[in-house]
Amino acid sequence: MPEKVIPIRLAAPPARAPAPHYAGGAFADTLGRPLRDLRISVTDRCNFRCVYCMPREVFDENYKFLPQPQLLSFEEIARLARVFVGLGVKKIRLTGGEPLVRRDLERLIGMLAELDVDLTLTTNGSLLAKKAKALKAAGLKRLTVSLDSLDDATFKAMNDADFPVAKVLEGIDAAAAAGLGPVKINMVVKRGVNDTHVLDMARHFRGSGHIVRYIEFMDVGSTNGWRMDDVIPSAEIVRRIHAEFPLLQADPHYPGEVAERWRYADGAGEIGVISSVTQAFCRDCNRLRLSTEGSMYTCLFGQNGHDLRSLLRAGADEDALRDEIVAVWRARGDRYSEIRTAQTALPEAARLRKVEMSYIGG
Ligand code: SF4
């Protein structure tokens, strides 16, 4: 029986001197990257157990999720978001775990919708049919739904919660009807599991306006048993689709856009590929993640967070919060996807222990 892997949580960094005062103006990290995108995890809980994110053998019935008082309240999240937007953040993505399992999420969305920001959310779609209208009414602009296959048996095996495809498709339709479309649909592609379903997804969503993004299976966290052999390179995915539906490469909407865009030559829409493993895009990564407990992670494959919650709850004012955020960003040098090979070449026990994706959002 392999040794049970205990996911890591916030390792509180040692107390440190107040951050140097930030006097305003543009700022960048050590690789010249600006801060533009903020991903906020509103819960570490989820009603799925996707094998590449929250494997059930680790996140089982004994797993201790974060108690409510340790989560940032909506008021704390909104206050931090206001500071981040003041520092140049243009897009906020709400994530989890599964964000829609957090009660009254519409209330938080209403608070964030007051900010001048592109407000979006990533969901597994399980609660979307019921909630789409309210999310839109609260001010959500658009959303992304994770759907790893149209084949029910495969999808249920991957979400490990016996959840049917039909209900997610219903949620996507409800989101479109509520005005949250076009919906982006994320498919994590794993060799020998769902890679033969890549074309089914393309056939199903072509011409619908929705955009399927094919994601290379990643070594997020330290519990999903990642192997390079299980990765289908994006170039292979594009080749497979192009063979049936000719594709033309399209320009990114903005620098640092995660998905590489490919348009159907016949005008039936587009797809995207997210190639963190085979085509690292760290050079213009402008994303910061805020964990459910209020810690900043400067990389999806990060190890330690930078605790903002203690500052907040110790009564820090906006200046102090700004100083802290800018200091953390300015010290950032992450580029994990560029060093992955060196890392994954190490024996498992010697590899970096990375924070779980379900804790900081994708
Ligand atoms: S690996 Fe880290 S630095 Fe690179 S793109 Fe992903 S989040 Fe950004």
> Is 67 a member of any domain?
yes
Domain assignment present for residue 268? The answer is yes
Mean pLDDT of the chain: 92
Average pLDDT of the segment spanning 122-144:
98
Distance 295 CA to ligand 1 centre (A): 17
Rounded Cα–Cα distance for residues 362 and 115 (Å): 23
- Which of 215, 298, 300, 352 to mutate to test ligand 1, by most ligand atoms within 8 A of the CB atom? 300
pLDDT per residue as tens digits for the range 163-197: 999 999 999 999 999 999 899 999 999 999 999 99
The answer to the question of residue 58 being in a domain is yes
For residues 116 and 86, give the distance between their C-alpha atoms in angstroms, rounded to a whole number: 10
Domain count, the chain: 1
Looking at ligand 1, which atom is closest to the CA of residue 289?
7
Tell me, yes or no, whether 199 lies in a domain.
Answer: yes
Per-residue CA distances from 60 to 45, 148, 257 (Å): 12, 22, 35
Q: How does pLDDT run across 230-272, given as a tens digit for each residue?
A: 999 999 999 999 999 999 999 998 888 899 999 999 999 999 9
CA of 286 to the centre of ligand 1 (A): 9
Q: Quick one: pLDDT at residue 6?
A: 47
User: Which residues have CB under 6 Å of ligand 1?
Assistant: 276, 281-282, 285, 287, 299-301, 334-337
- Whether 3 shows a pLDDT value over 50: the answer reads no
Q: What is the pLDDT of residue 352?
A: 67
| pLDDT score of 70 | 97
Residue 195: which domain range? 37-360
CA distances from residue 271 to 19, 65, 246, 262 in whole angstroms, order as listed: 43, 35, 12, 5
Q: Which residue has the tokens 């205990």?
A: 6
> Does 98 reside within a domain?
yes
- Number of C-alpha atoms within 13 angstroms, CB side, residue 347? 2
Rounded percentage of the chain residues whose pLDDT exceeds 70: 92
Q: pTM of the predicted model, to two decimals?
A: 0.92
Strand partners, 271: 212, 262
Is residue 192 one of the residues assigned to a domain? yes
pLDDT in tens, 263-312: 999 999 999 999 999 999 999 999 999 999 999 999 999 988 999 999 99
For β-strands 91-95 and 118-123, DSSP reports them as parallel
Q: Are 113 and 138 in contact, with CB atoms under 8 Å apart? A: yes
Arithmetic mean of pLDDT, 73-86: 98
Whether residue 1 lies inside any domain: the answer is no
The answer to the question of residue 48 being in a domain is yes
CATH code (residue 167): 3.20.20.70
Percent of the chain with pLDDT over 90: 83
Average pLDDT over residues 90-113: 98
Query: What's the gap in Å between 31 CA and the centre of ligand 1?
Result: 12
Residue 298 alpha carbon to ligand 1 centre in Å: 8
Query: Stretch 143-148: mean pLDDT, rounded?
Result: 98
Q: Does pLDDT of 58 surpass 50?
A: yes
Judge whether residue 335 has pLDDT over 70.
yes
